[in-house]
Amino acid sequence: MKRILTGDRPTGPLHIGHYFGSLQNRVLLQNQYETFILIADVQALTDNFNNPEKVRDNVCEVVMDYIASGIDSEKSTIVLQSKISAIAELTIFFSNLVSLSRLSRNPTVKEEIKQKTHLFNDSVTYGFFGYPVSQAADILSFNADLVPVGEDQAPMIELTREIARRFNSIYGTLFNEPDALIPEKNSRIKGLDGNSKMSKSLNNAIYLKDSEDEIKQKIFSAYTDPTKLRKNDPGHPDGCMVFYYMDIFGFDKLNEVKTECLKGERGCVKCKSELTQLICEYLRPIREKRRELENDLPYVYKILKNGTEKAQDLTSSILLQAKEKMKIDYGFIFDK
Ligand code: TRP
């Protein structure tokens, strides 16, 4: 069976961008592949080193979002990155196989550095600049075949393939060159404000755990056609976030909405009420499951502990093989 490794940074509860962009797909993939899902707390610290509480608080939030969304702990192994020491070790060894100029050409990292001037003050840290190497270690320490991710992560998988190739050619064949699995549709969900990416830091997200009141309040302040001031003004559904989410959540009267809006026969309040109802219903089972989990934290801890232990076994055996290839297997001296 082919193996999947994927992951998320625990920097906040998961939102509908994660759900449509990756979670929904993972729920299907877990039936077909041996699946590992990494809660990347070490990577989260690369841009939250000054806020460790935030990362810690969100680890279990993310586990709960996974389970509530249909990730089945019998099929998918949920793993805490900081407990997998093989990843930290491989990161060091892989850092010899990547040049600084190669790292500086990563478009996703470039974009992130631009957004984080407040944190890095024009002087990015070694840890953040190099996190793609650590992400390659995430993937290769499991020797994964497939990595389901959003399109912004494609450069990371490309680098992982290069590192695997380089390792194999210098030290001998060990690692697969993993393939990215990028959904064509909904790979990036827009934010409530119309921004091209839904994200916690942009404060434009609908969370899986949001209450019905929170959903309502968010939808009623979402970005709509600014030229449509009155109910009877003709509107432009393209670019309207309410119309956009109606499409994503599969509203059945989408064509009707479009014609009526274009003709000025439909007001925004009506659309917003209908969308609120649709989203509240859609997310209800997830929200209810999540409330149950919040009341049974020992169960959540057990899932994370069991998953992490299983991953420790697998990754330490792959690390050992890597060390043998690199001629740093000194078991004959130390393991006597
Ligand atoms: N960088 C990914 C993100 O920001 C999270 C991540 C960490 C990841 N390690 C991974 C994704 C390994 C896939 C595989 O979304």
Query: Ligand 1 within 6 A of 147 CB?
Result: yes
Q: Alpha-carbon distance 242 to 199, whole Å?
A: 17
Helix axes 154-171 and 131-140, enclosed angle (nearest 10): 70
Q: Ligand 1 center to residue 117 CA distance, Å?
A: 22
- Read off the pLDDT of residues 8-29 as tens digits, 9 standing for 90 and up: 999 999 999 999 988 999 999 9
Q: Ligand 1 center to residue 134 CA distance, Å?
A: 10
- Write the DSSP symbol of residue 83: G
Identify which of 153, 176, 198 to mutate to test ligand 1's pocket (most ligand atoms within 8 A of the CB): 153
Query: Ligand 1 within 6 A of 148 CB?
Result: no
Query: Ligand 1 within 6 A of 89 CB?
Result: no
Query: Ligand 1 within 6 A of 6 CB?
Result: yes
Q: Ligand 1 center to residue 135 CA distance, Å?
A: 7
Spell out the per-residue pLDDT of the chain, length 336, in tens: 999 999 999 999 999 999 998 899 999 999 999 999 999 999 999 999 999 999 999 999 999 999 999 999 999 999 999 999 999 999 999 999 999 999 999 999 999 999 899 999 889 999 999 999 999 999 999 999 999 998 889 999 999 999 999 999 999 999 999 999 988 776 789 999 998 889 888 899 999 999 999 999 999 999 999 999 888 999 999 999 999 999 999 999 999 999 999 999 999 999 999 999 999 999 999 999 999 999 999 999 999 999 999 999 999 999 999 999 999 999 999 998
**Nearest protein CA to atom 15 of ligand 1, as residue:** 8
**Do 313 and 306 touch, CB atoms closer than 8 A?**
no
Q: Alpha-carbon distance 27 to 14, whole Å?
A: 15
**Do 18 and 152 touch, CB atoms closer than 8 A?**
no
Q: Alpha-carbon distance 260 to 248, whole Å?
A: 19
Identify which of 19, 135, 315 to mutate to test ligand 1's pocket (most ligand atoms within 8 A of the CB): 135
The dihedrals phi and psi of 45, each to the nearest 5 degrees, come to -70, -20
- Say which residue the tokens 């020992």 belong to: 298
Please enumerate in sequence order all residues whose Cβ is within 8 A of that of 258, keeping only pairs 6 or more positions apart, or say none. 237, 243
Query: Ligand 1 within 6 A of 42 CB?
Result: no
Q: Please give the number of the atom of ligand 1 that sits closest to the Cα of 134.
A: 9
Identify which of 149, 163, 188, 189 to mutate to test ligand 1's pocket (most ligand atoms within 8 A of the CB): 149
What pTM was estimated for this model as a whole? 0.94
Q: Please give the number of the atom of ligand 1 that sits closest to the Cα of 131.
A: 1
**Nearest protein CA to atom 8 of ligand 1, as residue:** 7
Query: Ligand 1 within 6 A of 38 CB?
Result: yes
- Read off the pLDDT of residues 231-289 as tens digits, 9 standing for 90 and up: 899 999 999 999 999 999 999 999 999 999 999 999 999 999 999 999 999 999 999 99
